[in-house]
Structure 1
Amino acid sequence: MLADYHVHTEFSDDSEYLMEECIKKAVQIGLDELCFTEHIDYGVKTDLNCNLKEYRKEFLRCKELYQDRITLQFGIEFGIQAGTVQSFQQDFDEYPFDFVILSCHQVDNKEFWTQDFQRGKTQKEYQEKYYEEILQVIKKYNDYSILGHLDMIKRYDKCGEYPFEKVKPLIEEILKTIINDGKGIEVNTSCFRYGINDLTPSIDILKLYRNLGGEIITIGSDSHEGGHLGCKIAEVKKTLKDLGFHAVYTFDKMKPIANPL
């Protein structure tokens, strides 16, 4: 089973990849299942958010066309902040999502990739505040499937590697919370594109998650174009097996499905 569970197309503001072309590519490279996870980020990019009505319409059209060739799932990536939870709740209540990635792309309406969030803070301050925000959100909001790219702040940290042990207590509390709530995490293979010398999340986080009893884990390329699709998924499955995981998960109607490694 090869499934890509983090995929963006024309319905995300940072992609122009047509959904149908994405599906054709997925079939070509031998993927069995594809979950689209278009962007919603209230608070910062409200005018650029996915048009859920049009997204749903195109998804259903494509699903009917390709249902005999690949399994397609209707997902979303919620870039939630503690102060925007209600807007996401409304979207979740209105649309029949199969899968929801809960991500942290910004804090206090300040994005990471622009350095707006990090500016004026020490490395310790912005690293801790990032994880504190995630913890706040998951204590307020429960309608999601997995946490996306959990240590993504590393991608935009110009100060270099921040010691895992210094943020381990926060990460451990996050992982205990999601395990208790029946949620999971993803391995986001964009780490290979960004030149990070580790997985996202890190091997340290994956080991901690496993040791705490975490089982639900998905793999997604975070693709925005054809060259990203399915990236390193087979290799990551092997790594997860070596780390002691027994399955990777897919979702249908928000229900996790274990696919043995």
Structure 2
Amino acid sequence: MYSDYHVHTNYSDDSTYLMEDVIKDAIKMKMDEICFTDHVDYGIKKDWDEGPIEYLYGQPQVNVDYPKYFKEIESLRKKYPKITIRQGMEFGVQVHTIPRYQKLYEQYDFDFIILSIHQVNDQEFWTQDYQKEKSQQEYIEGYYQEMLNVVKKYKNYSVLGHLDLMTRYDEIGNYPFEKVKSIITEILKTVIQDGKGIEINTSSHRYGLKDSTPSRDILKLYKELGGKIITIGSDSHKPEHLGAYIDEAKELLKEIGFDSFCTFEKMKPIFHQL
């Protein structure tokens, strides 16, 4: 099974990759299945119909145009029956935005939802706004605390996305795993108890990170705690990202001791042998 379960298109405000072009490219790559997971980030972004689009560092701040999004997926499923196309989204949840995500989830039929922590207190990581005037300990532990608070309260998701995302934007450098192991353990125990999973996000390669995302330590801990649901996604935004390093991620999972990975249909995991 060759699939990519973290894919962004022109419906995400940080991509211009046309949805149909993604499908054409995936078919050329002989993919069996693909899941679109375009961005929704309430708190810092408006919905497509909520007024003039705002810009941050030249980047539009707007969520998915939901009616067009689902209509195009339906059309592409009919046009390209040889590849399985799943409809998902990446929810950038914060505790105070949970009600909006609950409402959105109830409005549409989803196959798959990535729950990601992209902001804390409506402050972005990639701009360094969240990290500014905080010690490394404060912003790292604050990030994981927000994640724990969210997974305790919000349950309409499939997997936690790029669980240690902060490493991508941490300009100070590596923060010792042992210092956050206890809170990550609590997060993973909650995820497992709720029947959810985590993803391995292969973008770590293109960002030049020294470890996988999440790290090998987190993947090993997840397995030790009994975690079994895991998806693999490229976090693609451009053609050169699509399907990248999927095979390498499978090999890493096998090395750690996993024997399967998952795809999803109607929010239910489907297990495939590694």
Aligned twin of 2:11: 11
Among candidates 41, 55, 58, match of residue 69 of structure 2: 55
The one-letter code sitting in structure 2 at the alignment partner of 1:233 is: I
> d(CA) in 1 for partners of 2:245 and 2:206?
10
Work out the CA distance in 2 between the residues paired with 1:64 and 1:94: 22
Displacement, 1:235?
1.3
| Distance in 2 of aligned mates of 1:31 and 1:105 | 28
1:10-41 per-position Cα deviation (integer Å, ceiling 9, x unaligned): 10000010000000000111211100001000
1:140 paired to 2:158: no
Show the counterpart of 1:117. Answer: 130
2:27 maps to 27
1:36 is aligned to 36
Task: Tell me, in whole angstroms, the C-alpha distance in 2 between the residues paired with 1:7 and 1:200.
Answer: 16
Provide the aligned C-alpha RMSD in A: 0.6
Residue 66 of structure 2 is aligned to residue 66 of structure 1: no
Offset at 1:255?
A: 0.4
Partner of 1:226, secondary structure, is coil
Q: Structure 2: how far apart are the matches of 1:228 and 1:105?
A: 20
Matches within 5 A, 1:170-249: 170-249=183-262
Q: CA deviation at 1:98?
A: 0.2
Deviation at 1:238, TM superposition (A): 1.3
Per the normalisation by structure 1, the TM-score is: 0.99
Secondary structure, aligned partner of 1:46: coil
Q: 1:152: which partner in 2?
A: 165
The 2-side partners of 1:106 and 1:239 are apart by 29
2:255 corresponds to which letter in structure 1?
D
SS state of the match for residue 240, structure 1? helix
SS of the equivalent of 2:96 reads helix
Note the C-alpha offset of 1:213: 0.4
| Residues in 1 aligned to 2:262 and 2:176: alpha-carbon distance in whole angstroms | 30
Identity of aligned residues (%): 58
Runs of 4+ aligned structure 1 residues displaced above 3 Å come to none
**2:52 alignment partner in structure 1:** none
> Can you give the 5+ residue segments of structure 1 that lack an aligned partner in the other structure?
none
1:169 to 170, 182, 201: 182
Q: Does 1:259 align with 2:242?
A: no
Query: What is the CA-CA distance between 1:45 and the residue it aligns to?
Result: 1.7
Q: CA deviation at 1:46?
A: 1.9
Structure 2 length normalisation: TM-score? 0.94
CA distance in 2, matches of 1:125, 1:152: 15
Offset of 1:242 from its aligned partner?
Answer: 1.4
Look up the equivalent residue of 2:46 and give its one-letter code: T
CA distance in 1, matches of 2:22, 2:169: 28
Deviations 1:126-155 (A, max 9, x none): 000000000000111101000000000000
Q: CA deviation at 1:44?
A: 0.5
Distance 2:211 2:78 in 1: 38
Distance 1:136 1:53 in 2: 30
- 5+ residue gaps, structure 2, are 48-61
Distance 2:209 2:67 in 1: 36
Q: Hey, what's the Cα distance between the residues in 2 that align with 1:174 and 1:28?
A: 38
AA at the equivalent of 2:3: A
User: In 2, distance between residues paired with 1:14 and 1:162?
Assistant: 28
